[in-house]
Homo-oligomer: A and B are copies of this chain.
Amino acid sequence: MDVSNRRALPGLAYPEDYLKRLADDLAVRFTGIFSLETVERYVLESYAALLRVSRVKAHLATRTVRFAADRLTALAQAKGAVPYEAHEVLFVCVQNAGRSQMAAVLTATLSGGAVHVRSAGSMPSHELNPAVIAVMEELGLSMSQEFPKPLTDDVVQAADVVVTMGCGDACPIYPGKQYQDWDLTDPDGLDIDEVRQIRDDIADRIRTLLAGLGVSAVAL
């Protein structure tokens, strides 16, 4: 059988041992809630899911741990094993590269931590939209820790408010949650002035959302 030299192949060497060590560390945080096997599954599947959509591989392991930890926390919340410390709002758009990312960071900031936020995309992009990063930096808000993530079941289960933005049928409507659908322009391909307008539109909607949750918005 003609098996090609592995080094000549496309694809990234799979850091299985390293990921398993990361899972071991993460499992400590979920002792008594999830088995090591479950945590390891989440880490390995989260890695595979992010790898598929990432062009830059430099931060993949770090992002995997954050994504897996956040999903496991969501799952633990949904099954009542971890208390909700704040309202849980989930923003879902198509690429998780612009609208839902701005909304997540703006909500966390405007709520002064009184709302916990997650975001996801039905068809996640490779990277964040650079114009989005720029207009958020104008407000002093860094997007450097954010990255596009696929919509997973666990984060919807954990949310009490889900805000969808143009993902149509790809966003399932789970029972027992509050939904809002925001009709926002997709910033993909727009110039920075237009993206700035979308950012301000999102900020206005978030102030209304926070008021509805009984949370006072702080000044930006």
Contacts and interface: CB of A to CB of B under 8 A. Distances in A.
A111 to B, nearest CB: 14
Nearest to A8: B181
A142 B62 CA distance: 43
Interface in A152-197: 152-154, 156-157, 164, 166-175, 178-181
Copy count, this protein chain: 2
A45 B154 contact: yes
Given A11-B169, A16-B175, A47 B153 contact: yes
B51 A170 contact: yes
B45 A180 contact: no
Interface residues of A, number: 55
Contacts of A16: 174-175
Interface stretch (A24-32, A101-109, A127-135, A206-214): A206-214
Given A10-B181, A14-B174, 4 more contacts: A9-B173, A12-B169, A51-B169, A53-B170
24 contacts: A2-B208, A4-B179, A6-B173, A9-B173, A9-B179, A10-B171, A10-B181, A11-B164, A11-B173, A12-B173, A13-B173, A14-B175, A16-B175, A41-B75, A41-B153, A44-B157, A48-B153, A48-B156, A48-B172, A49-B152, A52-B123, A52-B150, A53-B123, A53-B170
The 10 A-B residue pairs with the shortest CB-CB distance in the complex, in nearest-first order: A1-B212, A11-B171, A14-B172, A48-B153, A44-B153, A14-B174, A10-B168, A11-B173, A52-B122, A3-B178
